[in-house]
Amino acid sequence: MNHHKKLLSFVVFLLLEPLSFGQFSKLTELQKKFIQDERTGSNIMMVFQNGKTIYRHTQNSGKKGDKDIQKDTIFPMYSMTKPITIAGMLLLKERGLVAWDDPVSKYIPYFKNLRYKKDGKVLPCQNELKVIHLMTHKSGYRYYGNPLLENFGSGAGGASFEEPQPNQIKYDNLDAFVKDVASQPLEFEPGTQYQYGISQAVLGRLIEVISGKSLYTYLKESLFDPLEMANTKFHLTRDEWERYQVLYINADNLKGFTYLLDSHMTFKEENKAHFGGEGLLSTFDDYSHFCEMLLSRGIYRGKRILSESSIEQMTGKWVDLTEIPESDDKHELGGCHYGLACYVLNTPVLDRGDSEKGMFGWAGYNNTHYWIEPQKKLFGLFMTRSREFGWDIPIALRKTVNSIVE
């Protein structure tokens, strides 16, 4: 009898499973379209709702020079490092080890007596640089040059060493990095404007000073281990290099698959320049665990990782889009405000992805994207390695998922 019940259950599973995933055919077609339209190479997507994966599909391109995405493929996270660093800071605040209004110089004396630019002059700052300014990109530090262009010696970043760009060619520790950062004049008085930039790379050093550990060690103990993110780190072993995904580029008059634009980050284990704004490597499954925790308001599979208060702080309104300089973000993220390393939807009628109020998420430079839909108890996660970056990708993904899932 039990044998027949098991057989019946298996048959029902076979009948229902294709139907369940079959309703997502539009999403699979969209993944194919990204490749056909030369927006990405191979890509992987999942949708998780009500505690289970309801869609997961890898679309490999089969193109010469590309690599098929495997379960253990490693992707550079770039700015999807930022929410993890923010989570690390929120944990320190929960433990009473830091306050948002603390001056950064309390922990890192280099940041005393800062200067800023005004009307062609460099003047002493009247405002203290505070921790919250680093959390919200209101520090006055921008991104400097572009290390990905590798214009060595030209003043464009990379190995020119003329400005404090996060890279592991010049830096092998964060103390040296923030010393250079602190000597760089700010773009404006701390706390007065929004400027996306290296603020959260500086937070990495702040975490080191407060915790007494390297950024990687701290994040591993407080987040990666409890979230079962064993493949998330700032370095690659010799064997892991074989799992590192190749970049598809269709930008800057370049087109094709290459590793040649990666050399600003060495990913060597001995290099301790762990950049909290852009330096992490991860796998699809690992990062999905982080998303699962955010969706569950700080709980991962029965374990409390972050407090609900921390989740509320992360998704709170820290920056209105009207405050940011003219950019693609302002046009593509209509209806959103910025929380702590996330965009948050507060005016759904303006959203091009048809999401509900409270949706939040973030992205990485090589088109890694995640979003959380609290009202639908759902998250979406998409990974590829491609440039140029575009908000069109997550908007199309959200719109398609929301046309399928209630």
Q: Domain holding 123: CATH number?
A: 3.40.710.10
Check whether residue 26 and residue 101 sit in a common domain. no
Check whether residue 193 and residue 309 sit in a common domain. no
Q: Domain for residue 5, yes or no?
A: no
The pLDDT of 264-291, averaged and rounded, is 96
Identify whether the C-beta of residue 41 lies closer than 8 Å to the C-beta of residue 384. yes
Rounded to an integer, what distance in angstroms lies between the CA atom of residue 112 and that of residue 328?
34
Check whether residue 289 and residue 227 sit in a common domain. yes
> What's the count of helices (H) and strands (E) in the chain, helices before strands?
11, 17
Rounded to an integer, what distance in angstroms lies between the CA atom of residue 170 and that of residue 173?
9
pTM: 0.91
Check whether residue 369 and residue 277 sit in a common domain. yes
Which range, of 28-37, 321-330, 364-373, averages the lowest pLDDT?
321-330
Total tally of structural domains belonging to the chain: 2
Check whether residue 400 and residue 279 sit in a common domain. yes
Check whether residue 99 and residue 180 sit in a common domain. yes
SS3 content of the chain, % helix, strand, coil (to 5): 35, 20, 45
Check whether residue 98 and residue 179 sit in a common domain. yes
The pLDDT of 294-299, averaged and rounded, is 98
Check whether residue 125 and residue 148 sit in a common domain. yes
Average pLDDT, the chain: 91
Of 194, 219, 244, the last residue of a domain is: 219
Check whether residue 354 and residue 398 sit in a common domain. yes
Check whether residue 229 and residue 139 sit in a common domain. no
* C-alpha torsion angle, residues 321, 363, 385, 151 (rounded to 10): 50
What the block records as the tokens of 181 is 């950062």
For residue 118, the enclosing domain spans 87-219
The pLDDT of 201-227, averaged and rounded, is 98
Q: Domain for residue 343, yes or no?
A: yes
Check whether residue 226 and residue 319 sit in a common domain. yes
Cβ count near 327 (within 10 Å): 11
The pLDDT of 336-346, averaged and rounded, is 97
Cα 290 to Cα 80, 323, 377: the distances in Å are 11, 29, 15
Q: What is the pLDDT of residues 102-161, one digit of tens each?
A: 999 999 999 999 999 999 999 999 999 999 999 999 999 999 875 444 433 333 333 344
Q: Please report, rounded to a whole number, the percentage of residues in the chain having pLDDT higher than 90.
A: 83
Which has more confidence, 63 or 325?
Answer: 63
